Structure 1
Amino acid sequence: MQLRPEQLESHLEKALAPIYLLSGDEPLQLMEAADAVRAAARVQGVEDREVFNVDKGFDWEQLSAAAESLSLFARRRLLELRMPTGKPGAHGSKVLQAYARRPAEDTVLLIETGRLDASDRKTAWCKALESAGVLVQVWPLDLAGTQGWMQRRMRRHGLQPTADALRLLSERVEGNLLAATQEIDKLVLLSGPGPVDADAVLSAVADSARFGVFDLVDAALAGETARAVRVLQGLRDEGIEAVLVLWALAREIRSLHRMAEQVEANKPVQQILSGVRPQRRQPIVRQALRRHGEMGLGRLLASCARVDRAIKGRHPGNPWDELLDLTLNLAGTRVVPDHSPLTGTP
């Protein structure tokens, strides 16, 4: 059975499953999901706990032996298997499948692992564990997901944020749920339960947003110029290499150019967009295709080459100013030749 992170709490109020497989690369959600399983286990009389850390030399027979042995000190047990890579190997896969076929009596197996991609989900060990227990996958949240997560979190603390306050807070801590938790705790301490407006957020919250290069790409595709510039500035401030930012933008522009060629060949747009993944990105890709024709995207590719030369010192321009031009053009904003450069130094 698969559950979303927000469904886990209500599930745990009922009977415990014999196996929980928690996967993902968003640390706070993963940590809190594991904590919730442990807390529910304690409530239901699970007192004995044994932890296994899977590294290169891990002996999988330890798990098999623990499953077959009886606890000397408690009637029910919690076995925790921490597997950062999500790759148990051939022997580990066999052990996990065998456990899934016959879960240990009066025992809960909690497995924490890194992000499982589509191929991992199709492996025999993963399917066996999901069939015998519960799979919870956690993902980094986009801006909309961050707003929903924060609204639920704030309400649990008795805070009643206005729409403007919630939007502002989410933007300022986007991509960093650990910082978001700290800021919510700060708001509770400063103002106590009750209404929270944008002014309260502005006075209490530090700008803790952490961005990735794909946040920049999606903002530019959606034509969100102000946000795209803010993300680009954040990437520079955090020390992200200019070449990595260029790689992400150029990769997307090349993909758009290929799609535009298909549009020019009268291939149905919906058929072209069907290959865009994840599916939720299709609307912003459609926007970008409407904004830039094949020729326009060709010019953007030429701009990518200019940025590349600037990064390599073969063009006199500042690489980050060139990236700003490229980002603005991709977002559909005409670049004025004497635009202000990004602030700060790389």
Structure 2
Amino acid sequence: MKLDYLQALKRIDDARGAWVLHGQEPLLEQNLIDAFRQSWQKQDIERQRYDISSVSDWKNVFNALNSLSLFSTQLAVEVHGNIKPDASSLKLLKSYLQQDSNNLLLVVMPKQDASSLKSSFFQTVEANGVCVALTANYPRDRQQILAVEAQKLGIQLANDAWQWLEQHHEHNLLAAKNSLMRVRDTFPDLEQIQIEHLYACLQDQSRYTTYDLSDALLAGNLAQSIKIFQYLTASGEPMSLILWSISKEMRLLMQLFEQPQNALQLGIWKNKVSTYQQAVRRLSPQTFLSWPALLLNIDAAIKGVSQDNPEQLVQQAIASLCGRPLFAV
């Protein structure tokens, strides 16, 4: 079964079997993942996460799906990566799907090309589970998605204001959501936002987004990266989305270090391959080894599980990605 983003949001509480999320829209990915995690917590479903760095990692995934802890009746296994199961793991997937299990396999992947979407893996999931394309290719789709975000914030936009917002951000959903938050904070008492309100609020902003942060990180520009990070936090960017962008780049660089010939298969755009390759050459293997623990610490700090300052930890991650000591800023 194929679902779009909005359809998927409505079915999260009943999700079972296998779901694959694939695309290049960070707002849609993060919203769905957050919704899944909230649903699992509400239903007391145990969650396990796996990052796929090699084909052999899939065996650990299916071993987990076939075994529950003593304190759980349902399990959600969240998988991140861009390596599809091989033939033997595909058999395990088919066996799992035939069990009519209450467990859920949620696979999160970057944008896939046409040939990948025709692979046995995607065909199996599409026939027996759910595939969700994290895309918003048309203005109507983007407006519907942003209308949901506006509703969460308790604001409404006039029809022509939607058109202005989309043109202003050149189809960047994440930046548009940030602007909705900014408008809400600037005009908290207005029932409907007009173009003049958007223009007054947004015309002078620097328009930095997490995409700009990613570009600065890959370029190794520490000063610019810290500047963008400080702007994002000051403008209300959720720390979880900033972490998502940082962890995405870290995962891609670690995977490219291990598989230097597979840049395109890892989901790196062709015009970005040389940028990622230069970043890998700039970094040491020891740096890559330190990242998983650092990301876990940041996640714990953001959730309030630890006493660490999440902003300080994120700045450490930014410095590490740039391959430079933090005090050099």
Question: Which TM-score band (shorter chain)?
Answer: 0.5 to 0.7
Q: Where does 1:199-238 land on structure 2 (aligned, <5 Å)?
A: 199-205=196-202, 206=205, 208=207
CA contact (8 A) 2:84 2:121 kept: no
CA contact (8 A) 2:4 2:133 kept: yes
Which amino acid in structure 2 is aligned with residue 109 of structure 1? Answer: L
Q: How many residues align?
A: 208
Q: CA deviation at 1:126?
A: 1.7
Alpha-carbon distance in 2 for matches of 1:95, 1:114? 23
Alpha-carbon distance in 2 for matches of 1:143, 1:69? 44
- Percent same amino acid among aligned pairs? 24
Structure 1's consecutive aligned runs of 4 or more residues displaced over 4 angstroms after TM superposition are none
Q: CA deviation at 1:29?
A: 0.7
Q: Where does 1:34-183 land on structure 2 (aligned, <5 Å)?
A: 34-46=33-45, 48-56=46-54, 58-83=56-81, 85-102=82-99, 105-183=101-179
Alignment match, 2:251: none
Alpha-carbon distance in 2 for matches of 1:138, 1:94? 27
CA contact (8 A) 2:58 2:85 kept: no
For the pair shown, the structure with the greater C-alpha radius of gyration is 1
Q: CA deviation at 1:57?
A: 6.3
Which amino acid in structure 1 is aligned with residue 59 of structure 2? Answer: E
Larger RCO (CA under 8 A, 6+ residues apart): 2
Alignment match, 2:254: none
- Structure-2 change in CA distance of 1:49 and 1:111 (3 Å): same
- Structure-2 change in CA distance of 1:115 and 1:96 (3 Å): farther
Alpha-carbon distance in 1 for matches of 2:34, 2:98? 26
3-state SS, counterpart of residue 192 of structure 2: strand
Alignment match, 2:32: 33
Which amino acid in structure 1 is aligned with residue 68 of structure 2? Answer: L
Alignment match, 1:20: 19
CA contact (8 A) 1:17 1:134 kept: no
Which amino acid in structure 2 is aligned with residue 2 of structure 1? Answer: K
Alignment match, 2:230: none
3-state SS, counterpart of residue 194 of structure 1: coil
Q: Given the alignment, which residue of 194, 198, 210 partners 1:197? A: 194
Q: CA deviation at 1:144?
A: 4.6
CA contact (8 A) 1:100 1:128 kept: no
Q: CA deviation at 1:172?
A: 1.2
- Measured on the aligned residues, the alpha-carbon RMSD in Å equals 2.7
CA contact (8 A) 2:55 2:85 kept: no
Deviation string, structure 1 residues 134-192 (Cα, Å, up to 9, x no partner): 21111254545433332332233221211222211111122322211211111111212
Alpha-carbon distance in 1 for matches of 2:173, 2:91? 36
Alpha-carbon distance in 1 for matches of 2:201, 2:56? 46
- Structure-2 change in CA distance of 1:86 and 1:204 (3 Å): farther
Which amino acid in structure 1 is aligned with residue 36 of structure 2? Answer: V
CA contact (8 A) 2:78 2:106 kept: yes
- Structure-2 change in CA distance of 1:115 and 1:89 (3 Å): farther
Q: CA deviation at 1:44?
A: 2.6
